[in-house]
Amino acid sequence: MKVTERVISNQFGEEAMLIRRAQAGDRAAFDHLTRRYRGMIMAVAYVRLGDRDEAEDLAQEILARVWVKLATLQEPCAFPGWLKTICIRTAQNRRQRRPPTPVSLDEMRENRLLAASEGDPLTGLLVGEQRRQWQQALAALPPENRLVIVLHVVEGFTCVELAELLGVPLTTVEGRVHRAKGQLKRLLRDDILLRE
């Protein structure tokens, strides 16, 4: 057995043991798994909802659901994919239940006044516009590319870690990151060109 195969085997063996212990009710083992996968859970929640506070809320809901359903998982090696499926479905359900949040003219005016009172109004408007552009560009990406770019850039996962976490080949992750960066550049450039 090669060294890399032995390391992967040991890592999977350790994770399988943690999963089995958690299935038996060991809260410390579940907490260890939670720390290992929290970044992925938050990224999926954030990508689907676009709001960090709501993503934090959803992450707690997902972890509670995983704890309850963990006993139904038959194969520990399926845990990453099983967890990702729960994350995606829970986030989609939350997004569908969420009513649209209309913004009144008074709220818009208050937000502009708040930005103006905190500093230069022009800077506040430019920062808000840039944030809006990034959110729209991220929302326009295919879900797989959006997930890897958020996990890679925002959460700091390496491509190797993402490949292991998502259960896909390293080249797939590298391709998705590369495509996502290109798509973001194109979308952001097109947005600037459309406004000129």
Cβ distance 151 to 37 under 8 Å? Answer: no
Question: Which range, of 49-53, 54-58, 184-188, averages the lowest pLDDT?
Answer: 49-53
Q: Terminal CA-to-CA distance of the chain, rounded, Å? A: 60
Rounded Cα gap, residues 29 and 119, in angstroms: 48
State if pTM tops 0.75: no
What number of other Cβ atoms are within 10 A of residue 61's Cβ?
A: 14
**pLDDT tops 60 at residue 118:** no
Cβ distance 62 to 41 under 8 Å? Answer: yes
User: Mind listing the pLDDT tens digit for each residue in 146-184?
Assistant: 888 888 887 778 888 888 777 788 899 899 899 988 888
167: left (phi over 0), alpha (psi -120 to 50) or beta: left
Cβ distance 48 to 62 under 8 Å? Answer: no
DSSP 8-state class, residue 100:
P
* Residue tagged 């000129």 (tokens): 196
What local confidence, expressed as pLDDT, does residue 21 receive?
A: 92
User: Mind listing the pLDDT tens digit for each residue in 61-87?
Assistant: 999 999 999 999 988 888 888 888 888
Question: Which range, of 79-93, 124-138, 164-178, 179-193, averages the lowest pLDDT?
Answer: 124-138
Under CATH, to which class is 1-98 assigned?
A: mainly alpha
